[in-house]
Amino acid sequence: MTKTGAIDVDGPRDWSGDETKGLKQDDRTVRHFTVHHDGVAIPVSRGGRGRPLILCPGLNSTQADLHTLIELLRHDNDVMTFDLRGHGRTSATDRYSFEAFLGDLVAVMAESRRLDLSSAPVLVGYSLGADLAVHYASERPETVAELVLIDGANPVPERFITEADLPDFRAMWEGLATQQEAKRGTAGQVLLTGRDILEVNLEVDAVRSGILDRYRQIDQPITMIMSTSMAGASGDERALRLNLNWRAGVDRLARARPHVSTFWLDADHGLVFSHAEHIAQIIRGERRSAD
């Protein structure tokens, strides 16, 4: 499949209004409102028509980044999405952890139950958002209709960040945090430091070591959309090792939970940008499961 570049980040928006305020976009009204939780103001967007769907971004990704996928899904879904703490228009905090991010999702899901949704929503998560979705659904399975997990929540047999790799990952995320400073003040900003990003990734590595037990508590349909080259296609030893580990994690899940449907896309971890249309087709049920 041919890859395309990442989309441009949306400019600043006014997130201070309630759900009755919005803008017209392709004849669908997009409404914005705020959920207050744990000292954090979380901006939520809702638009489209059809079955309810809630999209949780991942670490270092925002609603603005996922604009193309969100708009595609809104053609036949009533889509709600939001920004995690320290991302996009959500306020900053001094606490960035898996449990803190999970609390943000729990707060948004609780608010969704007060709205006029036609049924329990499909919960879609990207990267860290997929892990959050699995943890949420394992504790409150009756509140979701199904899960769609995009390149995350993988029960990999080996941790990604080894002691030998730690210095390189630390440098990589320090560089990423520096690059993100150019987005400050926009809807695509990420306020986490390189140290924050590293610590969350270390925590996610540990969380995934026990995530199979979470899957066993979920009876709702689960669809996984995974990249064949999660760590890139450079061909170097580390990328090959990490990509094999990624594949092995999905194989492990398939053995434990054979009802899970899996789609592999010829992409890296940026598949939500390069393959948004394919992902939307899978979520709409237009493509059959493939190994």
Strand segments (E) across 87-168: 122-126, 146-150
> Is 291 a domain residue?
no
**Domain span holding position 157:** 22-283
> Is 1 a domain residue?
no
Number of domains in the chain: 1
The pLDDT, as a whole number, for residue 286 is 75
**Which residue's entry shows tokens 């053609």?**
75
For the sheet with 22-25, list strands across it.
22-25, 28-37, 40-48, 77-82, 51-56, 122-126, 146-150, 222-227, 261-265
Spans in the chain with pLDDT lower than 70 = 1-28, 287-291
The pLDDT, as a whole number, for residue 194 is 97
The pLDDT, as a whole number, for residue 4 is 27
> Is 166 a domain residue?
yes
Q: Are 10 and 188 in contact (CB under 8 A)?
A: yes
pLDDT in tens, 107-136: 999 999 999 899 999 999 999 999 999 999
The pLDDT, as a whole number, for residue 28 is 56
> Is 208 a domain residue?
yes
- What percent of the chain stands above pLDDT 70? 89
> Is 136 a domain residue?
yes
The CATH number of the domain where 139 resides is what?
A: 3.40.50.1820
> Is 288 a domain residue?
no
> Is 117 a domain residue?
yes
Amino acid identity, position 164: A
> Is 89 a domain residue?
yes
The pLDDT, as a whole number, for residue 218 is 97
